Structure formats: C-alpha cells, structure tokens
Structure 1
Amino acid sequence: MVTLLLDSTRLEVVLSGTERLLAFHKGNVAIERSAISKVQLTDDAWTWLRGVPSPGTHVRGVVAMGTWKSAGSEDFAIIRRHRAGVVIDLEGHPEFQRVVLTTRHGLALVQALRLDVAADDAAADVADIAAKAARRPRKRRPAVPVPAPGVS
C-alpha cells in the first residue's frame, strides 16, 4: 500500500520497492498542492483508468501500476484489486494530469487537503493530519433531567 505524506506545500506518494518495480518508476511522485484541482473518492478505481500502461504493469482486476498514456494525457496509477480509492486531478503538473490510487485513507486525504497546514509543519502521514483535525473539541449540550416514572 502506498504511503501518502502531506505538508503545507505538497503531497508525496511514497512508493515501496515493489511498487517502484511494477510501476517502472524510479522515485516517489511529488505533487504541489497548488497543482491539485480536484480530489474525488471512488469505490472502484479501475473505472478511472484511461489509455494503456506505458510503462507499467497491468493484470486485469488484480493490479495496475505505472504511467497510463491516452490521447494527450498521462496518468499515474497504483491500483490493487477492487478496493476504494482516490482520484486526484492535476493542473500544471510537469508529468501527470491525474493520479489514481487505491487507499483506505482516501477520506482522510480529502479532509487533510481541506486544512490549512502551517508552513513550519514537517511532512506528516495523511491519516495523522486528518486524525488531529477530528479531535477538535465539540460543544456538548447540558444534561436535561428526566422525571422519574410516576412523578408529576
């Protein structure tokens, strides 16, 4: 599973050695936050693939990793089985127009991208950032006394 690191300026998709090998990609995929135009959650990441793997690995329904080229666009995909994922549309990125990933942290990524991360924060895992945001104090209503049965 890919690791997603997010700081105030960029999102980084950290690939394991196996993922790098199957994707034919030498390093991690760095995306400037300013290049992210839209983030969508999806139940089936396979429906978002367009074009052909070039270079990349594709075993239908099992794995799709690497660069996918279609008419005038290049996408980066790390898809395993039929799991939920995230689709990140990009504008102005030097390599890709879209990144499609299967991850169980898709909702956390969407929430973390909505936050304003302070400029002095170091890179952190997306799930950690979203968890910190979820810990905001909530206002509780005062307890209302309930009359005992038979008391008017």
Structure 2
Amino acid sequence: MVTLLLDQTQLEVVLSPFERAVTFHRENLQVARDTIIKVQLTDDAWTWLRGVPGRGTQIPGVLAAGTWKAAATTDFVLIRRHRPGVVIDLKGDEQFQRLIFTTRHGLALTQALRLDVSEEPVDVTEITGAIPVPVQKGRKRPVIRPRPA
C-alpha cells in the first residue's frame, strides 16, 4: 500500500522498495497540488484502467503496477487485488494524466485536499489513520449434490 504525503504545494506518493521494483520507478511520485482536478473513491480500481500496460508489472486480478498508456494519456497505476482505491485526475502534469492506486486512506485524502491552504508554510502531513472500511462477509457457495440414479 502506498504512503501519501500532502502539503500545501504537492502530493507525494512514497513507494516502498517492492513498489519501486514492480513499477520500474526509481523515485517517488511528486504531483503539484494545483494539477489535481478531480479525486474519486472507488470500490474496485481495476475498472478504471484504460489503455495497455507500459513499463511495469501486471498479474490480472492480483497486481497492476507501473504505467498504462492510452491514445493520448499516460496513467500511473498501483493496484493490489480488488480493494478500495483512489483515482486522481491531473491536468498540466508533465508525466501523467491520472493516478490510480489502492489505499485505505482515500477518504482522508479527499478530505485533506478539500482543506483551504494557508499562506504560511506548514509541515508535511502523512495521510494515515483509522478509516472505517466495511467488512465483507464470506459468500456462501451453493452445495452441489449428485442427482440420484
């Protein structure tokens, strides 16, 4: 799971060594806050993929990491399994037009981005905390019994 750092000027996506390896990115992603035009929460980030995988790793249904390229767009993707995620649309960013990743802290991110920033510099805030996530109960499978002869 990615770590998000947000201050008044930028959003930084901090990648772990594993995430750096599977995405083929050496550096953390830094996105200017004024390039963020929309943030959406999603239950399944896989539905937001567009285009074809570029550099990175893809194991369908398990892991999508790296860049995805469509007609005139390049997206950064870091999706693990079918978990809740965040889709961030960007305008004017040099590298990417969209960031898609799974995180439990999507609600905290959207709330933090809504805050008005002050003119004075502030410390970087790490977006973590207990966000209530609905627990999914196991699905009962039908019992298949052989028919009598």
**TM-score interval, normalised by the smaller of the two chains:** 0.7 to 0.9
Question: 1:61-140 counterparts in 2 under 5 A?
Answer: 61-118=61-118, 119-127=120-128
* TM-superposed deviation, 1:53: 1.5
Point out the structure with max Rg over C-alpha. 1
Aligned length: 130
Gaps of 5+ in 2: 132-149
In structure 2, the residue corresponding to 1:82 is in which secondary structure? coil
In structure 1, the residue corresponding to 2:40 is in which secondary structure? strand
Residue aligning to 1:20: 20
Partner Cα separation in structure 2 for residue 99 and residue 37 of structure 1: 12
Partner amino acid, structure 1, of 2:107:
L
Q: Which has the higher helix share?
A: 1
Partner amino acid, structure 2, of 1:51:
G
In structure 2, the residue corresponding to 1:127 is in which secondary structure? coil
Partner amino acid, structure 2, of 1:49:
L
In structure 1, the residue corresponding to 2:8 is in which secondary structure? coil
Partner Cα separation in structure 2 for residue 107 and residue 124 of structure 1: 15
* TM-superposed deviation, 1:69: 0.6
TM-score (norm 1): 0.82
TM-score (norm 2): 0.83
Residue aligning to 2:53: 53
* TM-superposed deviation, 1:126: 1.9
In structure 1, the residue corresponding to 2:95 is in which secondary structure? coil
* 95-104 vs 116-125, greater mean Cα deviation: 116-125
Partner Cα separation in structure 2 for residue 120 and residue 30 of structure 1: 18
* TM-superposed deviation, 1:40: 0.3
Q: Which runs of 4+ in 1 moved over 6 A?
A: none
Residue aligning to 1:5: 5
Gaps of 5+ in 1: 132-152
* 76-85 vs 116-125, greater mean Cα deviation: 116-125
* TM-superposed deviation, 1:116: 2.1
**CA-to-partner distance for each residue in 1:85-141, whole Å, 9 max, x for gaps?**
00000000000000001000000000000012444212111236x99xxxxxxxxxx
Partner Cα separation in structure 1 for residue 117 and residue 34 of structure 2: 13
Partner Cα separation in structure 1 for residue 11 and residue 27 of structure 2: 14
Q: How large is the Cα RMSD of the aligned pairs?
A: 1.6
In structure 1, the residue corresponding to 2:128 is in which secondary structure? helix
Residue aligning to 1:42: 42
